[in-house]
Amino acid sequence: GQQVMQIPQYQHVQEGEDFTTYCNSSTTLSNIQWYKQRPGGHPVFLIQLVKSGEVKKQKRLTFQFGEAKKNSSLHITATQTTDVGTYFCAGTGGGADGLTFGKGTHLIIQP
Amino acid sequence: DAGVIQSPRHEVTEMGQEVTLRCKPISGHNSLFWYRQTMMRGLELLIYFNNNVPIDDSGMPEDRFSAKMPNASFSTLKIQPSEPRDSAVYFCASSLTWRNTEAFFGQGTRLTVV
């Protein structure tokens, strides 16, 4: 079945530094979604990308969808302590595969 | 709307016992997903339903796991018999459709099998 890989697994940054997480799929995706999970919480939807090469921004967050629709990235500029959590990408393939999540990147911020 | 509601929030049970997890999706959502989250394996899709019909259960680990959706407002995930390796947080999520729409997650059920 569909597999979604995400790197890195953990990322330690100093507050104010930038952060990027990368997502790769074994198959072409119809869309890519990004979620954030705070410690002890549940995943919360951030954004969805559908078009090849699409770029979307939410304040300090920039999301990209690759031209081949098999990879994506999330970039956070000037991290803040409120950005702490695990960021997941999730994708749906062309068949009947359900929404498949990557293993997530745990963002740890040191003040 | 109160969002996706899961119960119980926590469950501690002994190995060999039957465990039933419950989920009420958001009204009007046609798709429902069950996920299991562990540190080692991350968020695993177990099964999902569209219009109450199971579409893909390839993620269900073994025959000990079963899921039902008798109507649009209720789903259960049952483990019988439970084993210590089933200990995890189980999330239910719902969405308008099974593709291209955001998934709304419940608070999760933390299951501990001793």
Q: What pLDDT sits at residue B100? A: 73
Looking up tokens 């999970």 gives: A37
Q: Do B33 and A99 touch (CB under 8 A)?
A: yes
**Residue A57, domain member (yes or no):** no
| Lowest model confidence (mean pLDDT) among A1-10, A29-38, B65-74, B102-111 | A1-10
User: Residue A72 falls within a domain, yes or no?
Assistant: yes
In this complex, do A1 and B105 lie within 8 Å of one another by their Cβ atoms?
no
B42:A42 CB<8 A = no
Answer yes or no: is A55 within a domain: no
Domain holding A96, by residue range, is: 4-50+62-110
Q: How does pLDDT run across B46-59, given as a tens digit for each residue?
A: 999 999 999 989 89
Mean of pLDDT over chain A: 94
Closest Cβ opposite residue B100 in set A31, A43, A102: A31
Q: Which one of A42, A98, A101 has the shortest CB-CB distance to B42?
A: A101
Nearest to B65 by CA among B83, B53, B38: B83
**Contact status of B49 with chain A (Cβ, < 8 Å):** no
CATH number of A89's domain: 2.60.40.10
Minimal C-alpha gap between B48 and chain A (Å):
7
Pairing of strands A105-110, A10-14: parallel
Residue A66, in any domain of the structure: yes
pLDDT, tens digit, 9 for 90 and up, residues A36-46: 999 999 999 99
Q: In total, how many domains does chain A have?
A: 1
Backbone Cα Rg of chain B: 13
> Would you say residue A101 lies in a domain?
yes
pLDDT score for A111:
82
Q: For residue A89, which of B43, B93, B90 has the smallest C-alpha distance?
A: B43
Helices assigned H by DSSP within A33-84 = none
**List of chain A residues with pLDDT < 70:** 1, 94, 96
Which residues between 73 and 102 in chain B have a beta carbon less than 8 angstroms from any beta carbon of chain A? Answer: 91, 93, 95, 98-102
Instruction: Tell me, yes or no, whether A11 lies in a domain.
Output: yes
- State the average pLDDT over residues B85-103: 92
Confidence category of residue B107, pLDDT binned at 50, 70, 90 = very high
Instruction: Find which of B102, B104, B107, B110 to mutate to test the A interface (most A CBs within 10 Å of its CB).
Output: B102
C-alpha dist (Å) from residue B111 to A34, A67, B13, B85: 26, 41, 8, 10
CA–CA distance, A64 with A18 (Å, rounded to integer): 16
Measure in Å the smallest separation between the Cα of B15 and chain A Cα atoms.
25
In a domain, A56, yes or no: no
Distance (Å) of CA B112 to CA B14, B42, B75, B87, B109: 8, 17, 21, 5, 10
Q: What is the mean pLDDT of residues B95-99?
A: 85
Question: Can you give the pLDDT at residue A6?
Answer: 96
